[in-house]
Amino acid sequence: MQAAETARSVNRPTADLTAHDLYLRAYAMLWSSARQMPEALRLTEQAIERDPRYGPALAWAAVCCQRLLVDDRSEDPVADRRKGVDFARRALEVAGDDPGILGNAALALAYFGEDIGATMALVDRALGLNPNYARGWYISGLLRLYAGQPDTAIEHVEASLRLSPRARVGSSLSVIGAADFLSRRFDQAVPKLLLAIQEDPSFPQPYRSLAASYAHMGQLDEAQDVVKRLRAITRIVIPDAGYLRNPEDRELFLSGLRLAAGETR
């Protein structure tokens, strides 16, 4: 099903076969490891240079910029944020009724601080065009997490898993674990986040949610051990959590991380 979605997303795109090949190579990289993000962005930018109106590549470049910031792999976060917003807006200009372009552009714009209601509406439109779009349901779940709707986030990510149980469409277990965390179901969050880390040990987000979960459960030794593992893959333990629109969600997350890292305000 994921292969079918990939084929569908590139069906309307470009007459430049080299641009098409560059995009497909970048697309595959996103699912292998967070360490691949800089190279994936480089490939999508090459595709866009060859065809500046190549919608899927524009949307994927925006997602690559978003992931560089999420993964703490950006050498210039301000520039990558600016580029990501520009790529996403250019993608929407040529999106038409392509659910893949709409969904991926919405994800990037939501993370970069655009109005969360407007970006959720874009994903809703994508799912209206194709209710079987597995990645669309994943993105919808992630945006609901950002919006402070953790139970709806779980429902939508679980829908994506039912549609695509084998091929990855995103960091599903990380989102579900984070949603359980924000709902203060810390004991339910822990096993999902452990599995998310096993799925991609180079992706920092589940480490943070796991450390914060342990800290709020009073298991500070376990929390500190997770922080130690986190420091091995990123210099940033406590990130900017502005993507969480609910102030209470942000404080729960950041206070847990501060406890785990042994930091005070």
pLDDT, tens only, 208-218? 999 999 999 99
114, 147, 170 — which closes off a domain? 170
CATH code assigned at 248: 1.25.40.10
- What predicted TM-score, i.e. pTM, was given to this entire model? 0.91
Alpha helices (H) along 147-264 = 150-163, 172-182, 186-199, 205-216, 220-231, 247-261
When divided into structural domains, the chain yields a total of: 2
Q: What share of the chain is helix, strand, coil (3-state, %, to 5)?
A: 70, 0, 30
Residue 194 to residue 179: CA distance in whole angstroms: 14
What's the rounded mean pLDDT across residues 32-40?
80
Domain of residue 44 covers: 1-170
Q: What is the percent of the chain with per-residue pLDDT over 90, rounded to a whole number?
A: 79
Closest by CA position to 237, among listed 250, 256, 216, 217: 256
Q: What is the percent of the chain with per-residue pLDDT over 70, rounded to a whole number?
A: 93
Instruction: Give yes or no: residues 145 and 179 share one domain.
Output: no
Instruction: Give yes or no: residues 3 and 52 share one domain.
Output: yes
In which band, very low, low, confident or very high, does the pLDDT at 33 lie, cut at 50, 70 and 90? Answer: low
Name the average pLDDT for the chain: 92
Instruction: Specify the pLDDT at position 190.
Output: 98
Residue 60 pLDDT greater than 50, yes or no: yes
170, 189, 207 — which closes off a domain? 170
Instruction: Give yes or no: residues 153 and 213 share one domain.
Output: no
Instruction: Give yes or no: residues 162 and 210 share one domain.
Output: no
11 CB neighbour count, 10 Å cutoff: 10
Residue corresponding to tokens 């992706």:
203
Closest by CA position to 34, among listed 140, 168, 135: 168
Neighbour-count burial for 75-87, b at 16+ CB within 10 Å, e otherwise: eeeeebbebbbeb
Instruction: Give yes or no: residues 116 and 199 share one domain.
Output: no
Instruction: Give yes or no: residues 100 and 28 share one domain.
Output: yes
Instruction: Give yes or no: residues 10 and 108 share one domain.
Output: yes
pLDDT, tens only, 100-140? 999 999 999 999 999 999 999 999 999 999 999 999 999 99
Instruction: Give yes or no: residues 49 and 62 share one domain.
Output: yes
